[in-house]
Amino acid sequence: MNTILGPSPCKLPKIFDLGVVVDASGSIGEENFKLIRSFLVKLIDQFDIGSSHTRIGFIEYNQSPRYSGFTPKSSVNQKASILTNYVKTLKYLQGQTRTDLAMKLGYIKFFNGFERPYPNVMIVMTDGKTNEGSEPYSAIIPSFQVSEIACFKDNYISLSMCLPIYCT
């Protein structure tokens, strides 16, 4: 199955800060999780990564979000080869789904209190299913002060996953 990157709905300049939140819960399934890793490798290849260029961070989650240590806030480890190697080691965690907790942690680790003169973009890779007790997205997103929201579906990638993109 091929992964096709579609055009971004955000009018991004050449340099921006990207936070990727990856659902590794049981509802994703192991085969789809392999597709997510493949997609992320291709995504990294699309950008000029570096301390004075686009920077990327990752959060992986099931019922508990896991911060990878990679963040757009820091220029440390901002090389495409390092990020690609990290993505290839992402584990399918299984378990329940708490996208709300992962998005909150992502915002804090990626963008809160951090100012570079470039747009902040968050991609949430999920099947959209979340467990009981989760806060609705409508309660979380306004605190991000986003200016655009879009959702990629099957026309753009060969996964049946939704990729909300938040641009600030």
Query: Would you say residue 163 has pLDDT above 80?
Result: no
- 168: which residues sit within 8 A by CB, 6+ positions away? 111, 119, 120, 121, 144, 145, 146, 147
The span from the CA of 128 to the CA of 43, in Å, is 20
The span from the CA of 168 to the CA of 163, in Å, is 16
pLDDT tens per residue, range 111-155: 887 778 888 888 888 887 888 888 887 778 777 765 555 554 443
Which amino acid belongs to residue 133? G
Which amino acid belongs to residue 93? L
What percent of the chain lies above the pLDDT cut of 90? 36
Looking at residue 6, what is its pLDDT?
52
Looking at residue 40, what is its pLDDT?
93
Distance, C-alpha 27 to centroid of its chain? 17
Looking at residue 7, what is its pLDDT?
52
pLDDT: which is higher, 105 or 164? 105
The span from the CA of 73 to the CA of 90, in Å, is 21
Rounded to two decimals, what is the model's pTM?
0.81
Looking at residue 121, what is its pLDDT?
84
What are the residues facing 65 on neighbouring strands? 61
pLDDT tens per residue, range 88-109: 999 999 999 999 999 999 888 8
Q: Are strands 55-61 and 65-67 parallel, antiparallel or unpaired?
A: antiparallel
Query: Would you say residue 33 has pLDDT above 70?
Result: yes
The span from the CA of 82 to the CA of 72, in Å, is 14
pLDDT tens per residue, range 45-82: 888 998 889 999 999 999 999 998 888 888 888 999 99
Q: Which helix (H) or strand (E) holds 17?
A: strand 17-23
